[in-house]
């Protein structure tokens, strides 16, 4: 593992392969959002692949797919990931694209509005899927009043009202090199990944230690969620869950 401008670079050489997989893992997700940012992590994930700067490649999807690669991204409660898989001779292209995506977005107004509509449609689809809704209710019951109990998608109201500047501010605060892990595996060397990331990382931006400390969920049994009744197929779904120990708990925790 190497520190490159604050970003942690980890690799695994697999010389028998003829491909590479590269991911930029950002240590922020829905749990890090303020009350005025609900859904910002997921909103940002949508925008970053769509809105590179003019200096970046004008069509990221074409640049990846034209060499036989594929790319994707996803948002969770605690992190957001962007990844590309390509033939090994295009490792540099994969790293350059992900660096542009993660660190050099444009946030064009028309693209913000386009993705806003897409996310509102996703929320509607989620609300029509009982197997998704039941897990949202379970999380809200397990972690009442805490970000872990909120939806990664945000709410209709928060997404409809979220201005471009709030999304850009969230990116500026969280998408700093010191909050990013670059992971790569395949037919590559550690040094070539470190060198390429070093050319692209915005070195002057770092996050002060503890600046974005997360609040631990309150102890207790949670609360009884409010049932949701919707017309639809005659079926019911249930979810059963319990709180587990934290990652930092000692061996005596139960």
- Tell me which residues are annotated as active site: 45
DSSP state, 196? H
- Comparing CA positions, the residue from 26, 29, 24 lying closest to residue 83 is 24
Q: For the CA atoms of the chain, what is the radius of gyration?
A: 20
Cβ atoms within 10 Å, residue 8: 17
What are φ and ψ of residue 108, in 5° steps? -70, 140
């Amino acid at each position: 593992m190497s520190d490159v401008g604050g970003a942690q670079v980890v690799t695994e050489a697999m010389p028998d392969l003829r491909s590479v997989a590269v991911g930029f893992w950002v240590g922020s997700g829905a749990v890090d959002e303020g009350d005025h940012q609900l859904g910002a992590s997921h909103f940002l994930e949508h925008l970053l692949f769509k809105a590179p700067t003019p200096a970046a490649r004008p069509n990221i999807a074409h640049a990846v797919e034209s060499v036989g690669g594929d790319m994707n991204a996803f948002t969770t409660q605690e992190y957001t990931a962007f990844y590309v898989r390509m033939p090994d001779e295009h490792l540099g292209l994969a790293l350059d694209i992900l660096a542009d995506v993660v660190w050099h977005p444009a946030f064009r107004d028309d693209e913000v509005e386009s993705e806003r509509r897409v996310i509102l449609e996703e929320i509607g689809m989620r609300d029509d899927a009982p197997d998704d809704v039941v897990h949202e209710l379970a999380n809200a019951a397990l972690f009442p009043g805490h970000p872990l109990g909120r939806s990664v998608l945000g709410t209709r109201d928060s997404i409809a009202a979220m201005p471009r500047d709030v999304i850009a501010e969230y990116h500026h605060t969280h998408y700093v090199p010191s909050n990013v892990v670059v992971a790569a595996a395949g037919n590559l060397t550690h040094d070539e990944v470190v060198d390429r990331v070093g050319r692209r990382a915005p070195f002057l931006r770092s996050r002060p230690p503890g600046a974005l400390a997360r609040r631990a969920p309150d102890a207790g049994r949670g609360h009884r969620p409010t049932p949701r009744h919707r017309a639809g197929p005659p079926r019911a779904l249930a979810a059963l869950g319990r709180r587990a120990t934290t990652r930092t708990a000692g061996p005596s925790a139960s």
